[in-house]
Amino acid sequence: MAQAPQCVRRIESVEEYLAAVDAAFGAICGLPAGSSCELWFRGQAQIGFHLTPSIARGGRSPALEVVYLSKFKSLSIPYVQTSPAFPLPGGAPPYWSWLFLMQHYGVPTRLLDWSRDALTALFFATDPADPARTRGIDAAVWVLNPVRLNTAFAFYPFLQPGYIPNVEELAFNRHFGPGREDPATDKPAAAIGPLNSTRIVAQRGVFTVFPQAPSLTPLDQFDDSADYLQKICVAWESFDLIHTRLQHYGITRLTLFPEIEQVAGEIALQVQQEGILDTG
Protein backbone atom coordinates (compact mmCIF):
# COMPACT_ATOMS: atom_id res chain seq x y z
CA MET A 1 0.00 0.00 0.00
CA ALA A 2 1.34 3.41 -0.98
CA GLN A 3 2.18 6.03 1.59
CA ALA A 4 -0.47 8.74 1.97
CA PRO A 5 0.48 12.19 0.63
CA GLN A 6 2.06 14.40 3.24
CA CYS A 7 0.78 17.87 4.07
CA VAL A 8 2.03 20.43 1.58
CA ARG A 9 1.50 23.25 4.07
CA ARG A 10 0.31 23.81 7.65
CA ILE A 11 -2.00 26.81 7.69
CA GLU A 12 -3.07 28.98 10.62
CA SER A 13 -5.51 31.40 8.94
CA VAL A 14 -8.05 31.62 6.16
CA GLU A 15 -5.64 33.76 4.15
CA GLU A 16 -2.90 31.13 4.36
CA TYR A 17 -5.41 28.47 3.39
CA LEU A 18 -6.50 30.33 0.26
CA ALA A 19 -2.86 30.76 -0.71
CA ALA A 20 -2.37 26.99 -0.32
CA VAL A 21 -5.42 26.35 -2.51
CA ASP A 22 -4.01 28.66 -5.18
CA ALA A 23 -0.73 26.73 -5.04
CA ALA A 24 -2.62 23.48 -5.55
CA PHE A 25 -3.72 24.65 -8.98
CA GLY A 26 -0.12 24.65 -10.08
CA ALA A 27 0.73 21.39 -8.35
CA ILE A 28 -2.12 19.10 -9.42
CA CYS A 29 -3.50 21.02 -12.38
CA GLY A 30 -0.15 21.88 -13.90
CA LEU A 31 -1.57 25.32 -14.64
CA PRO A 32 -1.23 28.85 -13.24
CA ALA A 33 -3.76 29.72 -10.54
CA GLY A 34 -5.80 31.87 -12.94
CA SER A 35 -6.26 29.06 -15.47
CA SER A 36 -9.32 26.88 -15.83
CA CYS A 37 -9.14 23.70 -13.76
CA GLU A 38 -11.75 22.15 -11.50
CA LEU A 39 -10.69 21.20 -7.98
CA TRP A 40 -12.76 19.48 -5.31
CA PHE A 41 -12.25 19.83 -1.55
CA ARG A 42 -12.90 17.67 1.50
CA GLY A 43 -12.37 18.71 5.12
CA GLN A 44 -11.54 16.10 7.77
CA ALA A 45 -11.15 16.63 11.52
CA GLN A 46 -7.84 14.76 11.82
CA ILE A 47 -4.85 14.59 9.48
CA GLY A 48 -4.50 10.86 10.08
CA PHE A 49 -7.89 10.02 8.58
CA HIS A 50 -7.70 8.32 5.18
CA LEU A 51 -10.05 8.99 2.26
CA THR A 52 -12.20 5.95 2.94
CA PRO A 53 -15.99 5.75 2.51
CA SER A 54 -18.02 4.94 5.61
CA ILE A 55 -18.99 1.46 4.46
CA ALA A 56 -15.32 0.42 4.65
CA ARG A 57 -14.66 1.84 8.13
CA GLY A 58 -14.97 0.24 11.55
CA GLY A 59 -14.73 -3.33 10.31
CA ARG A 60 -17.53 -2.92 7.75
CA SER A 61 -17.36 -4.22 4.17
CA PRO A 62 -18.80 -3.02 0.84
CA ALA A 63 -20.61 -6.36 0.70
CA LEU A 64 -22.92 -5.00 3.40
CA GLU A 65 -24.43 -2.45 1.01
CA VAL A 66 -27.36 -4.71 0.19
CA VAL A 67 -28.14 -5.09 3.90
CA TYR A 68 -27.96 -1.36 4.66
CA LEU A 69 -29.98 -0.58 1.55
CA SER A 70 -32.71 -3.07 2.43
CA LYS A 71 -33.01 -1.90 6.03
CA PHE A 72 -32.99 1.77 5.06
CA LYS A 73 -35.80 1.24 2.56
CA SER A 74 -37.88 -0.69 5.07
CA LEU A 75 -37.50 1.77 7.93
CA SER A 76 -37.34 5.13 6.17
CA ILE A 77 -40.34 5.02 3.81
CA PRO A 78 -42.85 6.27 6.45
CA TYR A 79 -40.65 9.33 7.02
CA VAL A 80 -39.77 10.23 3.44
CA GLN A 81 -42.47 12.39 1.97
CA THR A 82 -41.38 11.87 -1.62
CA SER A 83 -39.59 8.58 -1.70
CA PRO A 84 -37.89 7.30 -4.85
CA ALA A 85 -38.97 4.14 -6.56
CA PHE A 86 -37.63 0.86 -5.28
CA PRO A 87 -34.06 0.46 -6.47
CA LEU A 88 -33.90 -3.28 -7.11
CA PRO A 89 -35.19 -4.22 -9.63
CA GLY A 90 -35.87 -1.04 -11.53
CA GLY A 91 -32.62 0.27 -13.00
CA ALA A 92 -29.92 2.66 -11.96
CA PRO A 93 -31.66 6.02 -11.25
CA PRO A 94 -33.83 4.88 -8.31
CA TYR A 95 -30.93 2.87 -6.90
CA TRP A 96 -28.71 5.95 -6.77
CA SER A 97 -31.54 8.05 -5.30
CA TRP A 98 -31.76 5.62 -2.42
CA LEU A 99 -27.99 5.45 -1.97
CA PHE A 100 -27.63 9.22 -1.83
CA LEU A 101 -30.48 9.48 0.67
CA MET A 102 -28.63 6.95 2.82
CA GLN A 103 -25.50 9.09 2.61
CA HIS A 104 -27.52 12.17 3.55
CA TYR A 105 -28.83 10.54 6.73
CA GLY A 106 -25.56 8.97 7.84
CA VAL A 107 -26.09 5.36 6.79
CA PRO A 108 -22.80 3.75 5.61
CA THR A 109 -22.29 3.87 1.83
CA ARG A 110 -19.46 3.66 -0.69
CA LEU A 111 -19.78 7.37 -1.43
CA LEU A 112 -17.28 9.97 -0.24
CA ASP A 113 -18.44 13.60 -0.02
CA TRP A 114 -16.51 16.47 -1.61
CA SER A 115 -17.35 20.10 -2.29
CA ARG A 116 -16.60 22.40 -5.16
CA ASP A 117 -16.21 25.17 -2.57
CA ALA A 118 -12.87 25.48 -0.78
CA LEU A 119 -14.28 27.39 2.21
CA THR A 120 -16.97 24.77 2.76
CA ALA A 121 -14.26 22.14 3.19
CA LEU A 122 -12.39 24.38 5.63
CA PHE A 123 -15.60 24.76 7.66
CA PHE A 124 -15.89 20.99 8.04
CA ALA A 125 -12.20 20.62 8.90
CA THR A 126 -12.59 23.03 11.82
CA ASP A 127 -16.22 22.31 12.78
CA PRO A 128 -16.58 22.37 16.60
CA ALA A 129 -19.63 20.10 16.30
CA ASP A 130 -17.52 17.27 14.86
CA PRO A 131 -16.84 14.77 17.67
CA ALA A 132 -13.60 13.75 15.95
CA ARG A 133 -12.11 17.24 16.40
CA THR A 134 -9.38 16.77 19.00
CA ARG A 135 -7.17 19.22 20.83
CA GLY A 136 -3.55 18.74 19.80
CA ILE A 137 -4.35 17.06 16.47
CA ASP A 138 -4.33 19.02 13.23
CA ALA A 139 -7.18 18.78 10.75
CA ALA A 140 -6.81 18.44 6.99
CA VAL A 141 -8.38 19.66 3.79
CA TRP A 142 -7.84 17.33 0.87
CA VAL A 143 -7.70 18.87 -2.60
CA LEU A 144 -8.64 16.65 -5.55
CA ASN A 145 -8.29 17.07 -9.29
CA PRO A 146 -11.30 14.97 -10.38
CA VAL A 147 -10.41 15.04 -14.06
CA ARG A 148 -6.97 13.56 -13.42
CA LEU A 149 -8.52 10.91 -11.18
CA ASN A 150 -10.99 9.93 -13.89
CA THR A 151 -8.33 9.44 -16.55
CA ALA A 152 -8.30 5.87 -15.22
CA PHE A 153 -11.71 5.40 -16.89
CA ALA A 154 -12.74 5.58 -20.53
CA PHE A 155 -16.47 6.00 -20.02
CA TYR A 156 -17.10 6.90 -23.68
CA PRO A 157 -14.93 6.16 -26.74
CA PHE A 158 -15.74 9.57 -28.22
CA LEU A 159 -14.52 11.49 -25.14
CA GLN A 160 -11.07 11.91 -23.72
CA PRO A 161 -10.44 10.07 -20.42
CA GLY A 162 -11.14 12.35 -17.49
CA TYR A 163 -14.85 12.92 -18.13
CA ILE A 164 -16.87 13.39 -14.92
CA PRO A 165 -20.19 11.55 -15.37
CA ASN A 166 -23.51 11.67 -13.60
CA VAL A 167 -24.08 8.50 -11.59
CA GLU A 168 -27.19 7.71 -13.64
CA GLU A 169 -25.30 7.41 -16.94
CA LEU A 170 -25.16 3.90 -18.35
CA ALA A 171 -21.43 4.17 -19.01
CA PHE A 172 -20.82 4.94 -15.33
CA ASN A 173 -23.04 2.07 -14.18
CA ARG A 174 -21.06 -0.43 -16.22
CA HIS A 175 -18.26 0.20 -13.72
CA PHE A 176 -20.07 1.20 -10.53
CA GLY A 177 -23.74 0.27 -10.84
CA PRO A 178 -25.75 -2.03 -8.56
CA GLY A 179 -24.72 -5.66 -8.65
CA ARG A 180 -21.35 -5.01 -10.32
CA GLU A 181 -19.27 -7.39 -8.22
CA ASP A 182 -16.29 -7.72 -10.58
CA PRO A 183 -14.99 -4.18 -11.03
CA ALA A 184 -12.25 -3.72 -13.62
CA THR A 185 -10.34 -1.50 -11.21
CA ASP A 186 -10.33 -0.89 -7.46
CA LYS A 187 -9.98 2.87 -7.97
CA PRO A 188 -12.97 5.16 -7.27
CA ALA A 189 -14.27 7.68 -9.79
CA ALA A 190 -15.37 11.28 -9.44
CA ALA A 191 -19.06 11.67 -10.25
CA ILE A 192 -22.06 13.96 -9.98
CA GLY A 193 -24.96 12.69 -7.90
CA PRO A 194 -28.68 13.46 -7.89
CA LEU A 195 -29.44 16.81 -6.26
CA ASN A 196 -32.00 15.19 -3.97
CA SER A 197 -31.26 17.13 -0.80
CA THR A 198 -30.87 20.76 0.16
CA ARG A 199 -27.52 19.90 1.75
CA ILE A 200 -25.97 18.71 -1.50
CA VAL A 201 -27.04 21.93 -3.21
CA ALA A 202 -25.94 24.22 -0.36
CA GLN A 203 -22.59 22.49 0.09
CA ARG A 204 -21.98 22.29 -3.68
CA GLY A 205 -21.64 18.58 -3.11
CA VAL A 206 -19.88 16.19 -5.47
CA PHE A 207 -18.66 12.67 -4.81
CA THR A 208 -16.12 9.97 -5.37
CA VAL A 209 -17.83 6.60 -5.81
CA PHE A 210 -15.96 3.48 -4.83
CA PRO A 211 -16.49 0.12 -6.58
CA GLN A 212 -18.41 -2.78 -5.12
CA ALA A 213 -15.19 -4.63 -4.37
CA PRO A 214 -14.65 -7.06 -1.47
CA SER A 215 -12.30 -4.51 0.10
CA LEU A 216 -11.59 -0.88 -0.68
CA THR A 217 -8.31 0.98 -0.94
CA PRO A 218 -8.43 4.54 0.44
CA LEU A 219 -8.14 7.13 -2.32
CA ASP A 220 -4.97 8.56 -0.75
CA GLN A 221 -3.28 5.13 -0.73
CA PHE A 222 -2.98 4.57 -4.49
CA ASP A 223 0.51 4.71 -5.97
CA ASP A 224 -0.41 7.64 -8.23
CA SER A 225 -2.38 9.62 -5.63
CA ALA A 226 0.12 12.49 -5.64
CA ASP A 227 -0.86 13.14 -9.28
CA TYR A 228 -4.40 14.21 -8.32
CA LEU A 229 -4.36 14.80 -4.53
CA GLN A 230 -2.89 17.30 -2.13
CA LYS A 231 -3.35 17.60 1.64
CA ILE A 232 -3.37 20.93 3.46
CA CYS A 233 -2.88 20.74 7.24
CA VAL A 234 -4.98 23.01 9.46
CA ALA A 235 -3.28 23.93 12.75
CA TRP A 236 -5.36 22.70 15.67
CA GLU A 237 -4.61 25.78 17.77
CA SER A 238 -6.20 27.94 15.05
CA PHE A 239 -9.49 26.01 14.73
CA ASP A 240 -11.63 28.51 16.64
CA LEU A 241 -10.10 31.56 14.97
CA ILE A 242 -10.57 30.08 11.49
CA HIS A 243 -14.11 28.99 12.24
CA THR A 244 -15.00 32.47 13.48
CA ARG A 245 -13.54 34.06 10.35
CA LEU A 246 -15.61 31.73 8.18
CA GLN A 247 -18.74 32.90 9.99
CA HIS A 248 -17.72 36.48 9.17
CA TYR A 249 -17.65 35.46 5.51
CA GLY A 250 -21.14 33.95 5.73
CA ILE A 251 -20.11 30.29 5.97
CA THR A 252 -22.30 29.03 8.84
CA ARG A 253 -24.00 25.80 9.80
CA LEU A 254 -27.34 27.14 8.57
CA THR A 255 -25.97 28.06 5.14
CA LEU A 256 -24.51 24.56 4.73
CA PHE A 257 -27.40 22.70 6.39
CA PRO A 258 -30.44 24.76 5.31
CA GLU A 259 -32.90 22.84 7.47
CA ILE A 260 -35.22 23.88 10.28
CA GLU A 261 -33.22 21.78 12.76
CA GLN A 262 -30.38 24.30 12.41
CA VAL A 263 -32.48 27.42 13.02
CA ALA A 264 -32.16 27.38 16.82
CA GLY A 265 -28.37 27.29 16.61
CA GLU A 266 -28.36 30.13 14.09
CA ILE A 267 -30.57 32.26 16.36
CA ALA A 268 -28.24 31.65 19.30
CA LEU A 269 -25.25 32.65 17.17
CA GLN A 270 -26.93 35.85 15.97
CA VAL A 271 -28.03 36.82 19.50
CA GLN A 272 -24.47 36.35 20.70
CA GLN A 273 -22.96 38.36 17.83
CA GLU A 274 -25.49 41.17 18.17
CA GLY A 275 -24.84 41.55 21.91
CA ILE A 276 -28.54 41.22 22.76
CA LEU A 277 -27.94 39.31 25.96
CA ASP A 278 -26.55 41.13 28.96
CA THR A 279 -23.97 38.72 30.32
CA GLY A 280 -22.46 41.22 32.75
pLDDT in tens, 235-265: 999 999 999 999 889 898 878 876 665 556 6
**Stretch (H or E) spanning 7:** strand 7-11
In the predicted structure, residue 270 carries a pLDDT above the cut 60: yes
In the predicted structure, residue 266 carries a pLDDT above the cut 80: no
Q: How confident is the model at residue 94 (pLDDT cuts 50, 70, 90)?
A: confident
DSSP state of 192: B
Summarize pLDDT for 12-49 with one digit per residue, the tens.
999 999 999 999 988 998 765 556 789 999 999 999 99
User: Cα separation of 94 and 83, whole Å?
Assistant: 10
Say what the pLDDT of residue 32 is: 59
In the predicted structure, residue 148 carries a pLDDT above the cut 80: yes
- Domain edges within the chain: 7-240, 250-280
Say what the pLDDT of residue 142 is: 98
User: Cα separation of 264 and 120, whole Å?
Assistant: 21
In the predicted structure, residue 183 carries a pLDDT above the cut 90: no
User: Cα separation of 234 and 76, whole Å?
Assistant: 37
Say what the pLDDT of residue 274 is: 64
Range in 47-51, 110-114, 263-267 with the lowest mean pLDDT? 263-267
Summarize pLDDT for 186-233 with one digit per residue, the tens.
899 999 988 777 778 888 889 999 998 888 999 999 999 999 999 999
> Is 3 or 69 the better-scoring residue by pLDDT?
69
Distances (CA, A) of 117 to 43, 184, 195, 234, 260: 11, 31, 16, 17, 23
Question: Which among 179, 195, 220 has a CA at the least distance from the CA of 103?
Answer: 195
Distances (CA, A) of 9 to 34, 101, 140, 234, 242: 20, 35, 10, 8, 16
CB 54 within 8 A of CB 63: no
Say what the pLDDT of residue 221 is: 95
Question: Which among 60, 181, 41 has a CA at the least distance from the CA of 113?
Answer: 41
How does 178-212 read in b/e, with b if 16+ C-beta sit within 10 Å?
Answer: beeeebeeebbbbbbbbebbeebebbebbbbbbbb
State the average pLDDT for the chain.
85
Say what the pLDDT of residue 123 is: 95
Say what the pLDDT of residue 75 is: 86
Q: Where are the alpha helices (DSSP H) in the chain?
A: 14-24, 65-76, 92-104, 118-125, 146-149, 170-176, 198-202, 239-248, 253-256, 263-273
Q: In percent, how much of the chain has pLDDT > 90?
A: 49
Say what the pLDDT of residue 265 is: 60
User: Cα separation of 274 and 46, whole Å?
Assistant: 32
> Is 258 or 266 the better-scoring residue by pLDDT?
258
Q: How confident is the model at residue 278 (pLDDT cuts 50, 70, 90)?
A: low
Cβ-based neighbour number of residue 269 at 10 Å: 14
> Is residue 152 classed as helix, strand or coil in its secondary structure?
helix
In the predicted structure, residue 56 carries a pLDDT above the cut 90: yes
Mean pLDDT of 174-186: 76
Range in 57-66, 90-99, 168-177 with the lowest mean pLDDT? 90-99
